[in-house]
Chains A and B, each alone.
Chain A
Amino acid sequence: MTVLEVAGLTVIYNGEAAIEDITFSLRRGERAALVGPNGAGKSTLLAAIAGLQQPTRGRITICGGQAQSGCIAYIPQRNRVDWSFPVNIADVVMMGRIGRYGLLRWPRPSDWEYVHQALQVVGMHGLAKRQIGELSGGQQQRVFIARALAQEAQLMLMDEPLTGLDIPSQEDVLRTLDTLRERQVTVLVATHDLDQAAERFDSVLLLNHKQIGFGPPTEVFTPERLAEAYGGHLHIIAGNGRISVVGDTCCGGGEERQDV
């Protein structure tokens, strides 16, 4: 079953195309990475799918076309969240349910049941009463994943969820994504880590304003396509049946070596 279908999507900002002619679709339970250099339009694409950004052209079909509230969960970049807001973790997860229990109503016992289950799934049950500012970066991401679960979202969009996390926290988040697969939640993650995209995702969408490739990582991450996406910023070393890629596109010019 197709959860997300994007056809010929174009978004034009101030006369320039932020993304142009994007066409792909995601199955139920699929885990896809959205990869491309900085400024390639990854955030714009996620915003358009979430309905936060009006497409200039093209069509987006979500959850089989019935536009229900709560089908999509958008997990914001960490620096977009006010971590000193007076809410605890259970409060944040409960926010995912407000579309379900409706206007002028208070949460029912079954809503709390969803919240506790969601926290259990992401392994945060013991911390329900903590204030959100008291968590580590990886835990913060898992709280937002729990909120998407409580929302009963079928499609989860994540904008750079692993950026700025240390390696164990990244592993935590990736393991949590594994449990989402069992629950048939489709995940689309923007990332600049080619290595992780190749190893931990079913499919990748390689983007630099235009769609350069979509499919399994082994088919998309070819030297030609990577060169097309990253241009001169990526140096490709072929040998030993592997392709090594050295890129300097991430995070303010620091060199980063990645094996594909």
Chain B
Amino acid sequence: MSSLLDLLLAPLSYAFMTRGLLAAAMVGIVCAIVGTYVVLRGMAFFGDALSHTILPGVAVGYLLNGGARGPLFWWSLITAILASIGIGAISRGGRFKEDTAIGIIFAGMFALGIALISTVRSYAVDLSHFLFGNVLGVSGNDLWLIAAFGGLVILVMLGLYKEFMVLSFDPVLAATLRLPVGFLNYLLLVLIAITIVVSLQTVGVALMVAMLVTPAATAYLVARRLPAMMALAATIGAASGIVGLYISYYVQVASGAAIVLVCTAIFAITFALSPRRSQLWRNR
């Protein structure tokens, strides 16, 4: 018994591990709650693309301020918000399908980011941190930023809970009730953008979509109501972050990948065991 406790406590003697665990848990919660709408509204591709579009912002911040974390955060945030509004505006005109608009902006911005970063000699290392995250490099200041912006996102989601629910379930009702449909749609895009920036350091761009989609999708298999789905997704997200980081500590694998693999494993088990959502259940 005491050896199990040792196993759990040993990594905590390193400050960077404690900070990493806190960051991973907070990110898991915020991503999962926002991810509930990403899953219900079929926005997975948008989430994936948006995380990639942040690259030029990171690159500019990097070129101007060197490795300093603080400015990097703000540059990413501005880029992500601009990209999400840009995608919203292009697809809104109705001339393209939304996924086409997303594809154009996503690839263009990502290429711009790579071009900018490649002007720096040591770009391979920095790019890999950006792509796959570096949760053990989280500073105390980063933790405060995650807590403040993550908390803000959750507060807005809870405050506008019923509006977002109606908008997602029945946009026509939202319109006939005279809710500000356009504003709420943009607001959701911006909330996803903030969530992605806050989470960037934990899992990185390439695996971001898993944090948004997988815990929420797992909860969707089990939960029958939206609040339950959100609570369950948040629990799964936080647990995956913590368990994944412990695994990466003991097994020596990349932390972002370990976190995502834990998420995926939870999903696979739930999917196999859940009678709900299976074809049988639907046709009953």
Which A residues lie at the B interface, using CB under 8 A?
50-52, 69-70, 72-74, 76, 80-82, 84-88, 91-92, 95-96, 98-99, 103-104, 131, 133-134, 147, 151
Closest 9 CB pairs of A and B: A69-B178, A99-B177, A98-B162, A86-B229, A69-B177, A85-B169, A131-B224, A74-B176, A95-B166
CA distance A84 to B274 in the complex (A): 15
CA distance A99 to B166 in the complex (A): 11
Complex A-B: 12 CB contacts under 8 Å: A50-B172, A70-B176, A72-B176, A86-B223, A95-B162, A95-B173, A98-B163, A98-B166, A104-B160, A133-B282, A134-B284, A151-B177
Q: Which A residue's beta carbon lies closest to that of B173?
A: A95
Q: Which B residue's beta carbon lies closest to that of A147?
A: B173
Least CB distance from B179 to A in Å reads 8
Q: Which of B168, B176, B228, B284 contacts A51 (CB 8 A)?
A: B176
Q: A98-B162, A98-B163 are in contact. Are A81 and B170 (CB under 8 A)?
A: yes
Say whether B175 faces chain A, with CB atoms less than 8 Å apart: yes
Residues in B with CB closer than 8 Å to A95 are 162, 165-166, 169-170, 173
CA distance A80 to B169 in the complex (A): 10
Q: Which A residue's beta carbon lies closest to that of B277?
A: A84
Say whether B62 faces chain A, with CB atoms less than 8 Å apart: no
Q: Which A residue's beta carbon lies closest to that of B229?
A: A86
Say whether B130 faces chain A, with CB atoms less than 8 Å apart: no
Residues in B with CB closer than 8 Å to A69 are 176-178
Q: Which of B159, B160, B165 contacts A87 (CB 8 A)?
A: B165
Say whether B220 faces chain A, with CB atoms less than 8 Å apart: yes
CA distance A80 to B228 in the complex (A): 24
Q: Is the CB of A76 within 8 A of B170?
A: yes
Q: Is the CB of B226 within 8 A of A86?
A: yes
Q: A52-B172, A82-B40, A92-B169 are in contact. List 13 more A-B contacts (CB 8 A).
A: A50-B172, A51-B175, A69-B177, A72-B176, A76-B172, A80-B172, A81-B169, A86-B225, A87-B226, A91-B226, A95-B170, A98-B163, A131-B224
Interface bits B159-197 vs A (CB < 8 Å: 1, else 0): 110110110111011011111000000000000000000
Q: Is the CB of B166 within 8 A of A73?
A: no
CA distance A82 to B172 in the complex (A): 13
Least CB distance from B258 to A in Å reads 29
Least CB distance from B185 to A in Å reads 15
